[in-house]
Structure 1
Amino acid sequence: MVLWHPPNAPWVKLKTNGAFSTSTLAVEERGLVRGSDGGLLRAFYAPVAASSSFEEELLALIRGLEMAMELSIHIWIELDSVGLVSLLSSGHLSSADFRHHMALIRSMTAQRQVRFSHIYREGNRDANFLAGRGVQTLALTYFDPISAPRYLKVLVRMD
């Protein structure tokens, strides 16, 4: 069983995820920020243009960081991509294809206290719930604790 643990105050936890379908070429990004009480602070989903699943994960993280930076300077980032967590923790900028995304993430996190960790897909159910919704809409969609879909609120409470 995979359990999710809320961060200690004043930290917030950002969980992002992406989906890239090679068969349909549908690409989406999604994520959510939760507070030290475990409650949902903000969430988003959107279709996005990316050339690979790795690029999509980076774009979702950038969007999530923009959202989390409005809420706290202490951001704990949980991702279900072990490779991306390793890359972000290492300080390297990645291949030339993704260097500009990595440089942007580095500059966004430079003046903040940021922590990266891996979470298994099973512990990322709330972010995964947003899967499919991003390609159903033509625009970026944000949620707060009141406007979030009912099932997302249930998943957050279940954690």
Structure 2
Amino acid sequence: MGCFSTQLGEGTAFEAELAACINAVNIASDKGWRKLWLESDCTRVVELLYSRSMDVPKKYEEAWMQALNRLQHMEFRVTHIYREGNRVADALASPNVQSNLVSELLYQDTIGVVNLRLH
């Protein structure tokens, strides 16, 4: 289990999720990992990964194709996770994130702390 944060500049939430997935695949591949389970709170990204579709914004086409090629050499699973279950990613998206907050949220995920969705 791990996390990372990267400056992306301006873009949509979808583009941020897409870039995060591409980065995660690249990191896993570069580390020689052969198994990867990716969770995303963006259903469109999950659908793209399931279908291996190239229906991505033009500026991501090359990186996306490379990520899909890397996935062919891995045992890969992608699942949708609700935003409430993805608190680490939400924290990392903040420009002023504190490392102790990320560590605490990772720890809570590890021990199975429930984060309820209240309407």
TM range (shorter): 0.7 to 0.9
Q: Which consecutive segments of 4 or more residues in structure 1 shift more than 6 A?
A: none
Superposed CA deviations along residues 94-141 of structure 1, whole A, max 9, x for unmatched, are 1562432331221121111111110000000012111223xx5xxxxx
The alignment status of 1:156 with 2:106, answered yes or no, reads yes
Alpha-carbon distance change, 82 to 90 in structure 1, aligned in 2, over 3 angstroms: same
* 5+ residue gaps, structure 2: 110-119
Letter of the 1:119 partner, please give it: I
Q: Higher mean Cα deviation, 76-85 or 58-67? A: 58-67
Match of 1:43, SS state, is coil
CA deviations 1:42-79 (Å, max 9, x no partner) are 42212114543323222111222222331621000100
For residues 55 and 39 of structure 2, what CA distance do their matches in structure 1 show? 19
Q: Which among 16, 21, 43 is matched to residue 3 of structure 2? A: 43
User: Is the Cα–Cα contact under 8 Å of residues 26 and 67 in structure 2 kept in the other structure?
Assistant: no
Whether contact under 8 Å (1:81, 1:118) holds in the other structure is: yes
Figure out how many residues of one structure are paired with residues of the other and give that number.
Answer: 107
Unaligned runs of 5+ in 1: 1-33, 35-41, 137-147
Normalising by structure 1, what TM-score?
0.58
- How far is the alpha carbon of 1:86 from its aligned partner? 0.9
Taking a change above 3 Å as real, the CA distance of residues 61 and 157 of structure 1, as seen in their structure-2 partners, is: same
Q: As a proportion of its length, which structure holds more helix?
A: 2
Say which structure is richer in strand.
1
Match of 2:39?
78
Provide the residue aligned with 2:94 in structure 1. Answer: 132
